[in-house]
Chain A
């Protein structure tokens, strides 16, 4: 019984919350307000204003991913080198913010970066000129890196952890010093984790709209903000749906490429 029908709840769930919405979005994306079929919504995508926002989305997401990787990889590597008690402590520290609401964390950053925020308070205490940090693209990237760092660190950390100590010893045995062991063995073997971390960072980053909204103050809108506006402000569900389709397509393409690299080595969180 369970074997035969155990999948039913999942199938129902998928149909109701994934397949059906996609069909609805698809319908909206290829129709106009008067109900006639048209691909005009997709043509809008090439409007320079929209293209600009897409470009900005991509560059913010790429920069976020790069910084996450630059900070995350050494951290993941380091976490595998410390003694087990320290290691567990570091994992908890890394995961701890993820247990708090995402919005809450973003609001907290407003308090840090704001005009009268923590950073400026410290600066003025030392009689240094205060900085205008809020509502800049830099601020958006800082907060996104903060938010997505665990998603970069954890897959890399797991993959490095799984590398057989015997393989490292074998490399040393064959004449590799610490640096060579890293470049010739640990780094290549950690690549599936890196690929996984990149997709776990890049995909949510490219579609995020809360951070650019709350931290960027609408000045560095991303594709997510654009979609949000079409649905909630401008009631242009048709254009919103088309833009969503484009975003889904972008995500699918990047998933395809990441899967090419990660094959079956593991390290994915999903």
Chain B
């Protein structure tokens, strides 16, 4: 059963289509992440679900009912805003209690729920604190608690970790995922951070220019990107033009290589995607590519090595370094050549 269905959803700002006829089905208890570069329409989509933007076309269904006619304050949906949007005139306790007070809960019940939320986000004892006396990470937690205390069916999160430092962001990713599983709430999460999306999501929706590029699990999105945009956006990729000579044979810069993809037209112009970590340095006899090292950058976990082979520059991720100017032999398995149809220009 789908909890939320977006059908043909469209939003146009000043003649520009920001969300372009998208269809999306979200199940109960699913952690869905909308991923894409800024301006791809992900936040607008989220705001349409939240009720802050009304669609120009299409439907949003919630449990099968039309959601677009319901004002935001009546939706069983809560939002964690990008800049937290905490109430500066209220303390931590009153911020969290805000939604409950509006719904006229009993004081004792409010107290119980707020305390429980503070415990959940690990900020017990902060009840009386003023908002501006909190760090970014603490404000973030309060924003989450303020939304979750209303026990929404769906929680919308608009780049909630964007303002936090890397370490804190990683901790919060794990915590958010744990909360989502514990509470059994549907999370719709918007981010431009591909790693964040891969870490937390059940389903990732990759968007670009208002159009959904691919919907899939993190492993599907990473291992089988449907087009060059997705491959490029998720992780690092070598993307080169090639020609599909016939089934399972691709030609790059005049040389042919074995691959596993079938079903393309003979001599169809395609994109070939190879992940840098799937390119391994080897000895001469196993070489798929041979070239000259042009650049070596130390990245911590691995070296990022650029080498040139037949006028084509490739990137390798390797735990071993190489000397600039040296000859390298690189092996790529046939199934690591990912063949993609050209994205039709839109």
Contact = CB atoms under 8 A, between A and B. Distances in A.
Interface residues of B, number: 25
A24 interface: no
Contacts of A171: 87, 98
B73 A170 contact: no
B89 interface: yes
Interface in A82-103: none
B133 to A, nearest CB: 13
Interface string B79-109: 1011101111100000000110011000000
A173 B83 contact: no
Contacts of A189: 88-89
Given A174-B99, A189-B88, A166 B81 contact: yes
Contacts of A177: 71, 73
A176 B102 contact: yes
A164 B103 contact: no
Nearest to B96: A174
A54 B51 CA distance: 56
Nearest to A181: B73
B102 A172 contact: no
A180 B102 contact: yes
Contact of A174 (B78, B83, B88, B89): B78
A170 B81 contact: yes
Contact of A172 (B73, B88, B150): B73
A170 B78 CA distance: 9
A171 B87 CA distance: 9
A interface, over-half SS: helix
B73 A175 contact: yes
Given A177-B73, A180-B102, A169 B150 contact: no
B85 A174 contact: no
A121 interface: no
Contacts of A170: 79, 81, 85-87, 146
A174 B73 CA distance: 6
A174 B52 contact: no
Contact of A169 (B52, B86, B98, B102): B52
For A169, A173, A188, which residue has the most chain B Cβ atoms within 10 angstroms? Answer: A173
B72 interface: yes
A50 interface: no
B98 A172 contact: no
A229 interface: no
Interface in A158-204: 164, 166-167, 169-177, 180, 184-185, 188-189
Interface of B: 50-52, 71-74, 77-79, 81-83, 85-89, 98-99, 102-103, 146-147, 150
Given A170-B86, A175-B74, 13 more contacts: A166-B82, A169-B50, A173-B50, A173-B147, A174-B102, A174-B146, A174-B147, A174-B150, A180-B73, A184-B98, A188-B89, A189-B88, A189-B89
